[in-house]
Structure 1
Amino acid sequence: MIQYSLRCAQDHRFDSWFQSASAFDKLHAAGMVSCAVCGSTEVEKELMAPRVNVGSEKARTAPEAPLSAPANPAEQALKELRKEIEKSSDYVGRDFAREARAMHSGDAPARSIWGETRGDEAKKLIEEGVPVAPLPFLPTRKSN
């Protein structure tokens, strides 16, 4: 895994993890890397310094905080947002674009949904006036 510091065309700065440098390049070329703040796909890598973990033997063997505990207020807010979205809306998976269009056109009852779609399909939804927004997390089944 590799962590990159990223910046979008609107000068929003954020970090994101990728399986490898080539995985980032492939996703970026496909327009699938988007700003965590505004959703723009005009994203570039920022200058970064490598992180090297050093410390005493005690620090290296000390138990770490649980991975599920938020490290800061921003992570806590994201955790609460995810919990609220999962509680109050329907996960439609890869049918997101179809479901969103159907609700927008009146062919399906309006309700809160979330799911997955390709970047180009999300752009089409926006161009069609369908109100959508990117979420700052992946479905549970896709996260480690």
Structure 2
Amino acid sequence: MKVLDLKCSHDHRFEGWFASTEEFESQLSRKLVACPVCAATDVSRMPSAPRLNLSSSRGDAPPAQHAPTGAQAAAAPEAAALQARALKFMRELIEKTENVGDRFAEEARRIHYNEAPARNIRGVTTPEDAHALLEEGIDVMPLPVPDALKEPLQ
């Protein structure tokens, strides 16, 4: 099993587990590797230190560490915290809304005109329908939800 450090084109960092390096390359070429934050399939492999399983008789050596530059070291915790907050927000959004799919515009109107029970909904609609909803005084906000967050992570 290969555990790889990965990064998408939006600089979201994540870990991927693959049967082999060849399997990673195969999945990457078929656009099957996607960022869990933004669903981007433009993913690259990050440098990582190898893990060596040595017997204890050879002595315990500290693991090799990649030393980030000063700016990277300062930005890494902040970026990771921001990414974690964004993921938490998106998961809460999914938990607290009903997915009405492509019936979004219709259902938003029904709720607005008291033809359906008031509730928080999410779904998909065209830009034209979203604009029409706004003109009718119905508040809508485009918010892309990565496909990876729509299902439980394994």
Normalised by the length of structure 2, the TM-score is 0.45
Relative contact order (alpha carbons < 8 A, sep ≥ 6): 1 or 2 greater? 2
- Larger Rg over CA atoms: 2
Normalised by the length of structure 1, the TM-score is 0.48
